[in-house]
Structure 1
Amino acid sequence: MSVDDLEIMREYEISVNLEEKEKADKLETQLNVMKEQLNTIVKAIELASTDDPEDMKLTEKVFTHFEIKDKVPSRNSYLVKR
């Protein structure tokens, strides 16, 4: 194997590593967005557990935004499932 062959192999390896890192970065970004969305949904469910009409409205908005089909949980259903 020549020096040129080794250089080509090294450049290819660097290129592949960069592509893998870019893919990993994209997946990490997607994961972070999903975590934020899940935290928002969890907070909305916690708000629903207070039975405050204003909190229930916020919860309904979150459920509508994320297209959650189930009805907004009431305080009693939240406590039972917990």
Structure 2
Amino acid sequence: MTRGEAEAVLAAVERMFPCGDFALFDHTHEGLAEGSWSIAYEGDYDWPMDVSERQFLHPEEFPREVFLEPIAGWCLGVYAAS
């Protein structure tokens, strides 16, 4: 997964939560598989669940080949779907 794809997910998250101060990290931030990313925000807990649900209900709002997984109440994992 490219940084650009991860940034597209970040942009979708920021549209959902315009008041958040989100940060994008590479796989080393949370010990994820190489090529994965994480998005972190410690202000409004459980937002990753909302994003994951939104991707399921409105997949057109996110890049196509992306799998999103809540890692914690403040962190979202961003993976290549294949």
Same fold per superposition (TM over 0.5): no
Higher strand share: 2
Query: Which entry has the higher C-alpha Rg, 1 or 2?
Result: 1
Q: TM-score, normalised by structure 1?
A: 0.28
TM-score scaled by length of structure 2? 0.28
Judging by fraction of residues, say which structure has more helix: 1
Which has the higher relative contact order, 1 or 2, with Cα contacts under 8 A spaced 6 or more apart?
2
